[in-house]
Amino acid sequence: MEIERNIINELVDWKTSERHKPVLLMGARQTGKTWVMQEFGRKYFDYVAYFDFSETMELETIFSQTKDPERLLKDLALQSDVPIEPGKTLLVFDEIQECEAAFNSLKYFCDKTPQYHIIAAGSLLGVAVRRRRMTVPVGKVTIIRMNPISFDEFLRVSEPSLHEFVSGLDEVDHIPEIIHSKLLLEYRRYQVCGGMPEAVVALLSDKGMGTVESVLQNILDLYEMDFAKYAEPRDIPRIKALWHSLPSQLSKENRKFVYNVVQSGARAKEYEDGLLWLEEAGMIHRVFSTAKPAMPLSGYREVNAFKVYACDSGLLRRLARVPSDVVLGGASNYTEFKGALAENMVLQSYIATQKEMPYYWTSSGRAEVEFVVQNGVNIVPFEVKAAGCVSGKSLTVYNEKFNPVVRVRFSANNLQKNGNLISCPLYLADWLFARRDWSELL
């Protein structure tokens, strides 16, 4: 089963651009980077010259002998089963973090042989760059970030007719209840498996929840093996403790990250490197508080107040050991984490479509809005409710205090608008975020 990935369109735009710098494809492990590079090459080029620096040791020798791209291309041609021709061949450098000379060569390919199309990727590339003090060729590469499969991509395969319906929406209007119910069911199924391609394929191929759980656990085990392989020895226990604290951090009513939850008496300076490692590995997202929801939001960031979410909702659910049937059917003792999982999914959707991190806002314990973002010239708050109950004063307090042009509430309720409020079903997060100006929907 193939899952059509939206990132392919981004790569097509890169291919047809007038000046195509080499691409650095960044993202967490197991998100499908290798498959995307090969699939893109298969569909849009005559040939794919694939080089894996973790498997072919001879490649390191080639790049250590010269920095001249023309000579490198001649030597690489001897290692390739396909011709290397400008405009016709996609060169894929996989696991490039294993060869610093190859990583550095990207700037020379950019300057001297821009007619060739090159994509490079690697496992924990951000971690490797910092650990080895590798110099990123700033201005010489195009960085494209790979995210887990989105609900939009999931729905395209699971229920094509529903995906077509959502794609055709162009205004805020009540969705027929039968369609609304079906979309909520698909969204809950997506919550269970998350966006890791192997888990998605297992679910949509009807291999059973046992297989889905096994796939997710294998990925979690792989991540923990990476701690030992790529982290500094002194940081390994701290990184592991941070990672395993996520469910506890997000189960609190106030989801602000607290070091004492990681370990009693823990201090920020002891764990900051571990948090940075997890960020660079693409395993977590940090959402900072903003003292004032005004432009630029970054100018009001509170560096000591933040929340930490997982890169993927399926992995977070498995890490927390929440059974799949609890997510699918609901349970009375699942309230706090249910909200956290919904927030995690909305955050994933925002990052994938907007290519940036949101903030959150709180008012002296009186109110807290899950995410605050900039949309054009507007600062937009959005609240996340996991179910249909939307009681709570936080968004109202924000509205009275700042009078935003538009505000958004995500929940399990139907699509509607009321004044400056857009009530958006959780399953339409991708649809909403993909629009240029949300105020136009009012």
Angular region, 87: left φ>0, alpha ψ -120 to 50, beta rest: left
> 146, 180, 207 — which closes off a domain?
146
Contacts of the segment 179-186: beta carbons below 8 A, 24+ positions apart: 180/414, 180/425, 183/155, 183/425, 183/427, 184/412, 184/425, 184/426, 184/427, 186/151, 186/154, 186/155, 186/158, 186/159, 186/162, 186/427
Looking at the structure of the chain, the number of domains it has is: 2
Do 34 and 158 lie in a common domain? no
pLDDT at 113 (0 to 100): 95
Do 208 and 356 lie in a common domain? yes
pLDDT at 411 (0 to 100): 95
Pairing of strands 359-363, 301-310: unpaired
Distance CA 394, CA 181 (A): 27
Domain-embedded: residue 343: yes
pLDDT at 19 (0 to 100): 85
DSSP annotation of 362 reads E
Residues 99 and 59: beta-carbon distance below 8 Å = yes
Domain-embedded: residue 27: yes
Do 289 and 434 lie in a common domain? yes
Do 127 and 267 lie in a common domain? no
Q: Which residues are 47's β-sheet partners?
A: 89
Domain-embedded: residue 223: yes
Domain-embedded: residue 36: yes
Angular region, 44: left φ>0, alpha ψ -120 to 50, beta rest: alpha
Give which of 257, 431, 220, 428 is closest to 340, Cα–Cα: 257
Pairing of strands 284-290, 117-121: unpaired
The CATH number for 25's domain is 3.40.50.300
Contacts of the segment 135-140: beta carbons below 8 A, 24+ positions apart: 135/104, 136/24, 137/104, 137/106, 137/107, 137/110, 140/21, 140/22, 140/106, 140/107, 140/110, 140/111
pLDDT at 337 (0 to 100): 86
Residues 427 and 183: beta-carbon distance below 8 Å = yes
Do 169 and 313 lie in a common domain? yes
Do 158 and 109 lie in a common domain? no
Domain-embedded: residue 198: yes
pLDDT at 264 (0 to 100): 85
Do 224 and 248 lie in a common domain? yes
pLDDT at 128 (0 to 100): 78
Residues 88 and 111: beta-carbon distance below 8 Å = no
Ranges of the chain whose pLDDT falls below 50: none
Give which of 187, 254, 189 is closest to 412, Cα–Cα: 187
Do 218 and 350 lie in a common domain? yes
Do 92 and 234 lie in a common domain? no
Do 384 and 254 lie in a common domain? yes
> 146, 170, 193 — which closes off a domain?
146
Give which of 212, 199, 194, 281 is closest to 240, Cα–Cα: 281
Preceding amide of 296 cis, omega within 30? yes
Do 161 and 297 lie in a common domain? yes
Do 140 and 220 lie in a common domain? no
pLDDT at 341 (0 to 100): 94
**Where does residue 164 rank: exposed (0-12), middle (13-18), buried (19+ CB within 10 A)?**
exposed
Q: In sequence order, what are the residues at sequence separation of 6 or more whose Cβ sits closer than 8 angstroms to the Cβ of residue 284?
A: 243, 246, 275, 278, 308, 309, 310, 311
> 118, 146, 174 — which closes off a domain?
146
Q: Enter the pTM of the model.
A: 0.94
Question: Helix 100-112 to helix 58-65 angle, to the nearest 10 degrees?
Answer: 50
Domain-embedded: residue 128: yes
Spacing of C-alpha 230 from chain mean position = 21
Give the structural domain span for 60.
7-146
Domain-embedded: residue 41: yes
Angle at 330 between CA 156 and CA 204, to 5 degrees: 25
Domain-embedded: residue 1: no
